[in-house]
A and B are shown apart, each in its own frame.
Chain A
């Protein structure tokens, strides 16, 4: 809310510069975000939190000034003379829905002189960014700013049958609001109507047809209280907000309604002349019942961690216009003023006292108990993976979880259900929760390529969202995209698994997902029956200048199966023996079948087998390939003799020949 520095002085005396005032207000919770000089005045932008509708008027802010720096609050004049014509002669008001309109007041002023408002008023309104219109409209705005209570003036002569009905809208009804917006109304909306039609959307905006205009002579001044949720819903549905709806949806002071009405009439009489009808229409469904709260000094101490004396606390509450009913021993009983309805518990009083006492006057204690924190397995694994990949020269990226619905972004490696759509997206580009991280990495790669960076090595650890029963399954994935060849990336994945102490062997089988991967150059990675990831060369269709490879892995599986605890293995005392071999096999024979065959050949002392390379060329018959590898022999208790190794090696070669038809390459 914008306030004028000079105008505020109308309600409270203070000797503070605008900056000092801003500081004081900020310290009690009314942040002054900006101060602008406007002529000989200052416009201060005060941020009022949604729980403080009482501060959406100058009087409310003045009350905070009083609480912060002392002094007393000056209420403006509300006295005026009336004629002896009873208001009931001019208007008949019916409130059909008293839940949605707990209080409705109306006053009538006849024979007004419509014209500009006084210059001082225009100046104040302009200072806080309101455009002067005419004396009647300006006065309703002025009083709203003064009291926080919105008002509306109708042209009395335009109301059919001198009747006001506060009711739900009927189907088919519509209204053109003062701002020119035509809106169809629905039956759950509250309107102000005359005998024929809606003349205002309750609490939000008046109608064009009955607004005060040049020909207006007689007015009906409405000052009411509307139910906040109803105003909020309607304002949202119709897409109309106003200074009035802003206040009603936060809640106005039910006891302040009549005061604001009288204040406005006083100003109208003074600056627009006219005759005020005697009396007021004041329809209210219930009387305000002030809540009573007991504050225990011991509780105040416990929550704030500082002992505040009872008289200090009660003085603060009094300055905030709480009615202190009783003060004995360690208790203060108070009655909450009507404009602070959000306060109904002891803790609310504690906050009020702390706020005015000053948060910065509460000590800074360092006496919490000692406690050691423990890293969860997830954290350990995540840190381990990140460190590993960074050590390998990878950059971590972060991409959005909400993506578009393109075929690429619709890839789902983890479930056959479709992605989860956002019901109220801002844009098509961000309308679905992603089911795969790789498309986002592809976009990051593309972004860099477009900016002249052709080689990237990137990874992301984030969630994918898979449709579930009520809430989706949120699966954490690790995805990598790198300008390396397939086997380099595969090696990185294998090394990563090893690093996490995941020793179970993985199976790599050909996999096809043409939106991501090149045909026949991708694999599904499985551990037992569980798919733990997908790896492959990026599809050419993606149009990169380079040919990157990518992998998406199931982090949840990593966390579950990792074995970070290490145990020392005794180092062998005796040397191992390596034998380099090259065999010629059919093109169809895979490495994994060679490996399996060798490891299951029952050759003595065989420790491991290590692949070197594949060769196809002149010396190799067509349809065949040469595969070079070494096998490693070792005994735990002695140095192996050459003859022993020869024998074992022969067993391996025999098995290879028998199972795979492999010939030793000479």
Chain B
């Protein structure tokens, strides 16, 4: 048997010398490796061989087959490049663009809400939710905004029917939570709010707010400043400055509007900050004792602070977006930018 194999090897060596064209090489391939070729002939002998030698013989045929294949392929390659000398080699162009996978995005407003949630989660705030369709009590009375009070002019509201309305602020969640829980309380409440504003570049009848509330013993205005300052530095950057201005909200006292130094102009004045160097980003204050009264908290024992911010506004500031309507048009060219 081994003799067969040696013979085949020797014959091949001789025949190789005779190959001068691609055609010769192809013929040689058929002779040795074809369906009725020499290798296959050898294979057919296998069953006739004593079983103890079969395995080693089979292995030898295989290695012979590999050897012959390599030699003949080498020849074919050699002559084919000679016969078609002008054919240019394919170039693997690494500069061709990659195939873009589908990549989805969170809506920019969700990104802002998530970022805000994350900063406050680090400060120990849980996330709370409340209904968007509310009774007047939660939107007004419990928040120290009595009926026909002049401050109601600041809170134009969509009504469903008497006493049922679309919440105009997420502060409603403060009441919902305090009714259910005893202090200490530390929550933020993101969500949709509604006000009958005619839509333009800066107004929308629906927008998003994030409300915050912290109630405990011994909480002070200085703590409010501490928490807000922490949020502002983390969210807007370590170099951003915070400024508080006295303001008025019926549900907090003292009340403040909180400005940050304009990130666009660095405080030098530009159109974004109306040349004041400051941009208003949120409203805040110490929870008004009347609000505590509404939820039966002891206003002597507990103090707390609340704050609220507009998500659209913060997002617009952060990315320099100049039209609030873009958030609700959902143009892919817009959404893909964030």
Given the known interface contacts A26-B245, A29-B246, A51-B248, the answer about A396 and B229 at a Cβ–Cβ threshold of 8 Å is no
Of B121, B133, B135, B245, the contact of A474 (CB 8 Å cutoff) = B133
Tell me the minimal C-beta distance from B268 to chain A in angstroms: 14
Bound CA span A396–B214, Å: 31
Bound CA span A376–B128, Å: 9
Is the beta-carbon distance between B244 and A304 smaller than 8 angstroms?
Answer: no
Given the known interface contacts A390-B105, A393-B101, the answer about A423 and B154 at a Cβ–Cβ threshold of 8 Å is no
Given A50-B248, A359-B244, A401-B192, 5 additional A-B pairs, CB 8 A:
A27-B246, A29-B247, A354-B246, A390-B103, A422-B166
Give a binary string over B117-143; 1 marks a CB under 8 Å from any A CB, 0 the rest.
Answer: 000111111110101111100000000
User: 10 shortest A-B CB distances, which residue pairs?
Assistant: A393-B102, A305-B220, A305-B222, A29-B246, A371-B124, A49-B248, A390-B104, A359-B244, A229-B148, A351-B254
Q: Pick from A305, A354, A447, A463 the residue with the most CB of B within 10 Å.
A: A305
Of A53, A366, A398, A457, the contact of B109 (CB 8 Å cutoff) = A398
Tell me the minimal C-beta distance from A241 to chain B in angstroms: 10
Is the beta-carbon distance between B226 and A398 smaller than 8 angstroms?
Answer: no
Given the known interface contacts A250-B150, A359-B256, A402-B194, the answer about A394 and B303 at a Cβ–Cβ threshold of 8 Å is no
Is the beta-carbon distance between A306 and B154 smaller than 8 angstroms?
Answer: no
Tell me the minimal C-beta distance from B120 to chain A in angstroms: 8
Is the beta-carbon distance between B331 and A51 smaller than 8 angstroms?
Answer: no
Segment at the interface with B among A175-183, A342-350, A532-540, A617-625: A342-350
Is the beta-carbon distance between B222 and A304 smaller than 8 angstroms?
Answer: yes
Is the beta-carbon distance between A351 and B246 smaller than 8 angstroms?
Answer: yes
Is the beta-carbon distance between A399 and B254 smaller than 8 angstroms?
Answer: no
B36 at the interface (CB under 8 A from A): no
Is the beta-carbon distance between B151 and A51 smaller than 8 angstroms?
Answer: yes
A379 to chain B: closest residue by CB? B127
Bound CA span A251–B160, Å: 30
Tell me the minimal C-beta distance from A465 to chain B in angstroms: 6
Is the beta-carbon distance between A49 and B247 smaller than 8 angstroms?
Answer: yes
Of A345, A386, A447, A463, the contact of B330 (CB 8 Å cutoff) = A447
Q: Pick from B102, B153, B221, B223 the residue with the most CB of A within 10 Å.
A: B221
B18 at the interface (CB under 8 A from A): no
Is the beta-carbon distance between A396 and B107 smaller than 8 angstroms?
Answer: yes
Tell me the minimal C-beta distance from A302 to chain B in angstroms: 7
How big is the A interface, by class? 35 or more
Given the known interface contacts A386-B110, A471-B131, the answer about A50 and B256 at a Cβ–Cβ threshold of 8 Å is no
Is the beta-carbon distance between A397 and B335 smaller than 8 angstroms?
Answer: yes
Give a binary string over A398-417; 1 marks a CB under 8 Å from any B CB, 0 the rest.
Answer: 11111000000000000000
A374 at the interface (CB under 8 A from B): yes
Chain B neighbourhood of A351, CB < 8 A = 246, 253-255
Chain A neighbourhood of B154, CB < 8 A = 50
Is the beta-carbon distance between B105 and A304 smaller than 8 angstroms?
Answer: no
Is the beta-carbon distance between A249 and B150 smaller than 8 angstroms?
Answer: yes
A231 to chain B: closest residue by CB? B150
Is the beta-carbon distance between A29 and B164 smaller than 8 angstroms?
Answer: no
Given the known interface contacts A359-B244, A369-B216, the answer about A392 and B104 at a Cβ–Cβ threshold of 8 Å is yes
Segment at the interface with B among A110-118, A448-456, A581-589: A448-456
Is the beta-carbon distance between B332 and A365 smaller than 8 angstroms?
Answer: no
Is the beta-carbon distance between B104 and A395 smaller than 8 angstroms?
Answer: yes
Tell me the minimal C-beta distance from B135 to chain A in angstroms: 7
Tell me the minimal C-beta distance from A473 to chain B in angstroms: 9
Q: Pick from A26, A228, A249, A365 the residue with the most CB of B within 10 Å.
A: A365
Q: How many residues of B contact A (CB 8 A)?
A: 82
Give a binary string over A418-461; 1 marks a CB under 8 Å from any B CB, 0 the rest.
Answer: 00111111100010010000000000100110010100111000
Is the beta-carbon distance between A376 and B244 smaller than 8 angstroms?
Answer: no
Bound CA span A386–B107, Å: 10
A84 at the interface (CB under 8 A from B): no
B157 to chain A: closest residue by CB? A424
B265 at the interface (CB under 8 A from A): no
B-binding residues in A (CB < 8 A): 26-29, 31, 33-34, 49-53, 228-229, 232-233, 249-251, 302-306, 345, 347-348, 350-351, 354-355, 359-360, 362-376, 378-379, 386, 389-402, 420-426, 430, 433, 444, 447-448, 451, 453, 456-458, 462-463, 465, 470-472, 474
Given the known interface contacts A354-B246, A433-B133, the answer about A398 and B225 at a Cβ–Cβ threshold of 8 Å is no
Is the beta-carbon distance between A394 and B254 smaller than 8 angstroms?
Answer: no
Tell me the minimal C-beta distance from A360 to chain B in angstroms: 6
Given the known interface contacts A50-B153, A302-B303, A397-B107, the answer about A425 and B226 at a Cβ–Cβ threshold of 8 Å is no
Chain B neighbourhood of A433, CB < 8 A = 133, 160, 166
Bound CA span A362–B243, Å: 11
**B255-302 interface with A by 8 A CB criterion:** 255-257, 274, 286, 288-289
Given the known interface contacts A232-B153, A393-B104, A448-B331, the answer about A302 and B220 at a Cβ–Cβ threshold of 8 Å is yes
Is the beta-carbon distance between A365 and B220 smaller than 8 angstroms?
Answer: yes
Is the beta-carbon distance between A392 and B254 smaller than 8 angstroms?
Answer: no
Chain B neighbourhood of A424, CB < 8 A = 158-159, 196
Is the beta-carbon distance between B248 and A52 smaller than 8 angstroms?
Answer: yes
Chain A neighbourhood of B101, CB < 8 A = 393
Chain A neighbourhood of B328, CB < 8 A = 398-400
Is the beta-carbon distance between A251 and B150 smaller than 8 angstroms?
Answer: yes
Bound CA span A451–B220, Å: 52
Chain B neighbourhood of A423, CB < 8 A = 158-161
Tell me the minimal C-beta distance from A238 to chain B in angstroms: 16
Is the beta-carbon distance between A420 and B121 smaller than 8 angstroms?
Answer: no
A27 to chain B: closest residue by CB? B245
B327 at the interface (CB under 8 A from A): yes
Is the beta-carbon distance between A396 and B105 smaller than 8 angstroms?
Answer: yes
Tell me the minimal C-beta distance from B290 to chain A in angstroms: 9
Chain A neighbourhood of B248, CB < 8 A = 29, 49-52
Is the beta-carbon distance between B333 and A372 smaller than 8 angstroms?
Answer: no
Tell me the minimal C-beta distance from B266 to chain A in angstroms: 18
Chain B neighbourhood of A372, CB < 8 A = 124
Chain B neighbourhood of A232, CB < 8 A = 148, 150, 153
Chain B neighbourhood of A393, CB < 8 A = 101-104
Bound CA span A350–B332, Å: 51
Bound CA span A53–B150, Å: 10
Is the beta-carbon distance between A373 and B125 smaller than 8 angstroms?
Answer: yes
Chain B neighbourhood of A402, CB < 8 A = 158, 166, 194, 205-206
Tell me the minimal C-beta distance from B100 to chain A in angstroms: 10
**B312-330 interface with A by 8 A CB criterion:** 327-330
B336 at the interface (CB under 8 A from A): yes
Chain B neighbourhood of A305, CB < 8 A = 220-223
Chain A neighbourhood of B184, CB < 8 A = 369, 371
Of A29, A50, A396, the contact of B104 (CB 8 Å cutoff) = A396
Chain A neighbourhood of B205, CB < 8 A = 400, 402, 426, 430
B242 to chain A: closest residue by CB? A364
Chain B neighbourhood of A371, CB < 8 A = 124, 184, 186
Of B197, B288, B332, the contact of A453 (CB 8 Å cutoff) = B332
Report 26 cross-chain contacts, Cβ distance below 8 Å, ordered by A residue.
Answer: A26-B245, A27-B245, A31-B257, A49-B248, A232-B148, A302-B220, A306-B221, A350-B253, A359-B246, A362-B221, A366-B229, A368-B223, A373-B186, A379-B127, A391-B104, A393-B102, A398-B109, A401-B194, A402-B205, A424-B159, A426-B198, A444-B330, A451-B331, A451-B333, A453-B333, A457-B104
Of B198, B225, B286, the contact of A303 (CB 8 Å cutoff) = B286
Chain A neighbourhood of B257, CB < 8 A = 31
Is the beta-carbon distance between B331 and A447 smaller than 8 angstroms?
Answer: yes
Tell me the minimal C-beta distance from B33 to chain A in angstroms: 32
**B133-185 interface with A by 8 A CB criterion:** 133-135, 148-151, 153-154, 158-161, 164, 166, 184
Is the beta-carbon distance between B194 and A365 smaller than 8 angstroms?
Answer: no
Is the beta-carbon distance between B206 and A401 smaller than 8 angstroms?
Answer: yes
B230 at the interface (CB under 8 A from A): yes
Chain A neighbourhood of B229, CB < 8 A = 364, 366
Chain A neighbourhood of B223, CB < 8 A = 305, 365, 367-368
Is the beta-carbon distance between B221 and A33 smaller than 8 angstroms?
Answer: no
Bound CA span A424–B198, Å: 13
A28 to chain B: closest residue by CB? B246
Chain A neighbourhood of B150, CB < 8 A = 50-51, 53, 228, 232, 249-251
